[in-house]
Amino acid sequence: MYYVNPTKGRLTAEEMFADIMQFIDANPEARYKVIIGTDSQSRMRTCFVTAIIIHQVGRGARYYYCKKYQRKITSLRQKIFYETALSLETASFIAQMLAANGHPELNLEIHLDIGNNGETKELIREIVGMVVGSGFNAKIKPYSCGASKVADKYTKSG
């Protein structure tokens, strides 16, 4: 699996993480947020895009994304649960790498493509519970730009 950064192109997971560390180490006194979000789009098959955003609060951000394709998933519930599982898998990897590299204090946020408006409102309690129960902070629309803006942008081209 590889990740794409708009500036640096294709990166392995290790190269992506090294780039994140370089970004953090360039200004270690700054405050950072690490955001993970997944969105999907179904056509002939379903394209899932997971975005990893490292945000230097007040100063900008870097992001990376990876795409994964599955057979066409028509069930909204199944799609949202799979998006969440992909975000949790990525967040666990990033959290382990951050801790191993001296940054266990960086909290990760999982941005979910669900909200109080629309069909996904019935899923909020279950999905947020799944994320919080896994030890991460959960954000829903309109506060979930990692899923609804960054990841969403790259599902359209998939």
DSSP annotation of 58: T
Residue 158 has a pLDDT of 52
Q: How many residues make up the chain in this entry?
A: 158
Task: State the pTM of this model.
Answer: 0.95
Who's near 42: CB < 8 A, 6+ residues apart?
72, 73, 74, 79
Please give the C-alpha separations between residue 129 and each of 36, 100, 108, in angstroms, as whole numbers: 16, 27, 15
Q: Which residues of the chain have pLDDT under 50?
A: none
Residue 83 has a pLDDT of 97
Helices (H), the chain: 13-25, 76-100, 124-133, 145, 152-155
Annotated domain spans of the chain: 2-155
